[in-house]
């Protein structure tokens, strides 16, 4: 896995399309228990090189009920976004993740895991990729998360931009987040 991550971090496949240039952000070990598949790094994460090192990451850690130390221990959480580099700015947020990352690297990365107990699908891009034949919208997938267990757990993106979704769906933080925290604790204490 170390060799593979080293190759990924040197990747320049889509460099000509990246406004800030390539800086692949991925973190995992072959022993990662929980894999987080999000969208792509934002500008802050691009600058720091630390995955989920922004407001979205703080909200995600809150939903998971874990400290920074636990979150950033790659044997606990492997972080494998759909796009490894910042894709640029769109009209209403960041552009979609570049498809080259998942197409080129995901199979190899996921074959390298030995200990995965749960894959968190954060946002619509991850859900569309991993749940290809499921045509339900994000809200229905999140509401019916138990149908995807034990392998997957669909989540909304924790971005501040998504605060309107969360305000329209208060059941998520009231009912789903406590179940998610419990599941995470079961896995990490196992």
Look at residue 190 in the predicted model and tell me its pLDDT. 64
What is the spatial distance between Cα 183 and Cα 190, in angstroms, rounded to a whole number? 11
* Regions in the chain scoring below 70 on pLDDT: 190
CA angle 68, 41, 177 (to 5 degrees): 50
CA atoms within a 13 Å half-sphere pointing along the CA-CB vector of 183:
20
What DSSP element (H or E) covers 55?
A: helix 55-64
Write down the pTM of the prediction: 0.96
Domain span at residue 71? 2-22+29-189
- What pLDDT, in 10s, does the model give residues 94-132? 999 999 999 999 999 999 999 999 999 999 999 999 999
Look at residue 91 in the predicted model and tell me its pLDDT. 86
Number of structural domains the chain divides into:
1
What is the spatial distance between Cα 172 and Cα 61, in angstroms, rounded to a whole number? 15
Cα of 171 vs its chain's centroid, Å: 22
Q: Look over the chain and give the mean of its residue pLDDT values, rounded to a whole number.
A: 97
What is the spatial distance between Cα 121 and Cα 154, in angstroms, rounded to a whole number? 5
> The domain spanning residue 107 has which CATH number?
3.40.470.10
Neighbours of 1 (CB within 10 A): 17
Look at residue 161 in the predicted model and tell me its pLDDT. 86
């Amino acid at each position: 896995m170390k060799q593979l991550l080293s190759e990924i971090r040197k990747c320049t496949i889509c460099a000509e399309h990246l406004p800030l240039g390539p800086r692949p952000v991925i973190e995992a070990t072959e022993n990662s228990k929980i894999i987080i598949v999000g969208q792509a790094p934002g500008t802050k994460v691009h600058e720091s090189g630390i995955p989920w090192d922004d407001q979205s990451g703080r909200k995600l850690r809150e939903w998971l009920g874990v400290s920074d130390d636990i979150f950033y221990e790659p044997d606990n959480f492997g972080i494998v976004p759909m796009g490894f580099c910042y894709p640029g700015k769109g009209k209403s947020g960041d552009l979609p993740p570049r498809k080259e990352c998942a197409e080129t690297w995901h199979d190899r990365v996921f074959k390298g895991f030995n200990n995965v107990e749960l894959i968190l699908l954060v946002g619509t891009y991850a859900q569309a990729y991993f749940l290809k034949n499921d045509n339900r919208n994000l809200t229905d997938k999140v509401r019916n998360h138990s149908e995807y267990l034990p392998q997957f757990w669909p989540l909304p993106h924790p971005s501040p931009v998504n605060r309107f979704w969360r305000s329209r769906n208060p059941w998520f933080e009231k009912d789903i987040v406590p179940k998610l925290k419990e599941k995470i604790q079961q896995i990490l204490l196992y």
